[in-house]
Chains A and B, each alone.
Chain A
């Protein structure tokens, strides 16, 4: 399914009917996500942060889906969806502080970069094992249904996750219990190095949903308005008691899996270049220019705003100290048991490790 035509006009039958302000907000959020991504990638290359997992080329699939969910709906992230969290108003400074694991990192330096969460933004916690979040989303939606709340849950995962034990368990539970959950599969072509053709023998990923009797759609994940429309339809189905929806968002991971990856080993530049031409941001820009509500000046002004914002966040993050060592020992349980009190005291009162750069 595509909504935005090559000339920037919309397929009137599929147009989700967003106002000019709404489309511009969506576009600006996608650009901001990319600029933040780009800056983090650069500072990782400079060795200033340990790691980053970006969303280059997948901004429509991520931000477009987040925009179609209502504020009261939950987002259950995989790990590439910080654009969805920022869309919900999560402070950029807090995210950058997390990337640095500094004293203002909400998780006190306990997690690798890009492991975000926020209860106020109804955004569950990123976890690195693949697919484990999918049953959480189903359980969350079962709880919402049981508690009679008008909420649904959108869970992101990649094509690779559809091979996981957890994916099939979650799909099956969703089919049986019919909770208000949207399975948002970013089929970006690769699970690290493995192309989707080797991940599964099925022609599409969406067809797997039929085995669980979950209605499915397959949309152009680089078309923000197609993503928006499909997700909004799923939200409506869920809100009307129609149960789960599976949406395959066809996109492409233009960047590496993470900053630790070298995609040149497993795919050609030509392949990547073809997808650069299908860029979701260029695509949406073409549409707002077609509507005559956007131009080069507005675009470069917005990019400057975003760039200055993220640079300022980085500057502040770098000035902040490390989290307190004692915070390593809290939040394991609601109340700290005796053995952790003992270990904390021993650690705090004991010798300190040499800084990494001092090690030979």
Chain B
């Protein structure tokens, strides 16, 4: 066990994967000599050499397109896209190619690749260093979407994603990168994809969150507990394929659902979660499911704490929902 923050835990996962499997390689902008703009890959080029930790030219299309080619030939590339906001030039490669290769070849070819990318706001990054585009990828059949909230899960999920035979988009909450520390095993343990986790058991309201907003949901739950409202908080961890069992059984128990995400509201993943739960647990619902989300604007700078669904916006919704 070593106490690690999220950056260190992800670094530890990458180091473990590089040591265990010679087919794993890392590629991205500034990830080698510099160790990445967030230093997530620090020291890895020194240990594994420039052929396994590739500093690439500045092209998301090139990074993701060549990663697909490598994955088609038996490697397990882990690409870093410097900010999720910059993934769009490579979007076509992910959506038209990586996501569909298995289907369009009836399994004869597949693309075992991981795309790591820091996402989310709260770091004074403005509209191009703060976005949360997870819904675009969840909407694409063939992709898996993972978003850990803490160092332990991040390491275990990333190792599992690298071993997975399907393309995985791995969103890292950059607001949490250095904000949270916990004991993380030094082994290459796995956290399975597709399993959510109840991080706070409760009886009255189910609150779903992931990534950086998990902490806000948790704090809001603690706050309303003082007023006698007992909230169950679930960290989705894998956004797709979703752990439908865990969340459905929670809502059947509580009868109330609040979803928190920082991505814009309209067509955000929250809408899909509301639909899925309503279809499955309609007769158990005691209140309308509610979303607490980013607003439908581009991500702002000065007022980012009013854009984000922080405790001050979540807590009142939990109370209203509990007392509906």
Chain A contact-residue range equals 35 or more
CB distance from A298 to the nearest CB of B (A): 37
B101 at the interface (CB under 8 A from A): yes
Cβ–Cβ < 8 Å partners of A119 in chain B: 105, 108-109
A117, A138, A139: which contacts B109 (Cβ < 8 A)? A117
B51, B109, B166: which contacts A333 (Cβ < 8 A)? B166
Q: Mark B126-163, 1 if CB is under 8 A from A, else 0.
A: 00000000000000011010000000000000000000
Binds B, one of A106-114, A222-230, A233-241, A287-295: A106-114
Tell me if B97 and A334 are in contact (CB < 8 A). Answer: no
Q: Mark A116-143, 1 if CB is under 8 A from B, else 0.
A: 0111000011010100101111111111
Cα A53 to Cα B25 in complex, Å, equals 38
Cα A83 to Cα B84 in complex, Å, equals 41
Chain B residues with a Cβ closer than 8 Å to the other chain, count: 47
Report the number of A-B residue pairs with Cβ-Cβ less than 8 Å: 142
Cα A318 to Cα B96 in complex, Å, equals 30
Tell me if B73 and A333 are in contact (CB < 8 A). Answer: no
Cβ–Cβ < 8 Å partners of A108 in chain B: 106
A9 at the interface (CB under 8 A from B): no
Most buried by A among B66, B67, B109, B141: B66
Tell me if B103 and A331 are in contact (CB < 8 A). Answer: yes
Tell me if B70 and A139 are in contact (CB < 8 A). Answer: yes
Tell me if B104 and A332 are in contact (CB < 8 A). Answer: no
Tell me if B70 and A107 are in contact (CB < 8 A). Answer: no
Tell me if B59 and A138 are in contact (CB < 8 A). Answer: no
From 163 to 200 in chain B, residues with beta carbon under 8 angstroms from any chain A beta carbon are 164-166, 194
CB distance from A231 to the nearest CB of B (A): 20
Tell me if A176 and B68 are in contact (CB < 8 A). Answer: no
Tell me if B103 and A170 are in contact (CB < 8 A). Answer: no
Known: A146-B25, A172-B62, A332-B141. A139 touches B102 (CB 8 A): no
Cβ–Cβ < 8 Å partners of A136 in chain B: 65-66, 68-69, 72, 97
Cβ–Cβ < 8 Å partners of A143 in chain B: 69-70, 72-75
Tell me if B62 and A173 are in contact (CB < 8 A). Answer: yes
Q: Mark A296-339, 1 if CB is under 8 A from B, else 0.
A: 00000000000000000000000000000000001111100111
A218 at the interface (CB under 8 A from B): no
Cβ–Cβ < 8 Å partners of B316 in chain A: none
Tell me if B165 and A334 are in contact (CB < 8 A). Answer: yes
Cβ–Cβ < 8 Å partners of A141 in chain B: 69
Known: A135-B65, A165-B61, A170-B65. A118 touches B74 (CB 8 A): no
CB distance from A76 to the nearest CB of B (A): 8
A191 at the interface (CB under 8 A from B): no
B291 at the interface (CB under 8 A from A): no
Tell me if B65 and A166 are in contact (CB < 8 A). Answer: yes
CB distance from A349 to the nearest CB of B (A): 17
A147 at the interface (CB under 8 A from B): yes
Cβ–Cβ < 8 Å partners of B72 in chain A: 124, 136, 139-140, 143
Residue of B nearest to A153 (CB): B69
Q: Mark B239-266, 1 if CB is under 8 A from A, else 0.
A: 0011010000000000000000000000
Known: A107-B105, A166-B65. 13 other contacts (CB 8 A): A111-B104, A117-B109, A124-B72, A129-B96, A139-B66, A139-B70, A139-B71, A165-B89, A166-B93, A169-B65, A173-B56, A176-B56, A334-B166
> Could you list which residues of chain B lie within 8 angstroms of chain A, going by C-beta atoms?
25, 51, 54, 56-57, 59, 61-62, 64-75, 77, 89, 92-93, 96-97, 100-110, 141-142, 144, 164-166, 194, 241-242, 244
19 contacts between A and B (CB under 8 A): A111-B104, A117-B109, A135-B62, A135-B64, A136-B69, A139-B69, A139-B72, A141-B69, A144-B73, A166-B92, A169-B57, A169-B61, A172-B57, A173-B56, A177-B54, A333-B144, A334-B164, A337-B241, A339-B241
> Could you list which residues of chain A lie within 8 angstroms of chain B, going by C-beta atoms?
74, 106-108, 110-111, 115, 117-119, 124-125, 127, 129, 132, 134-144, 146-147, 165-166, 169-170, 172-173, 176-177, 330-334, 337-339
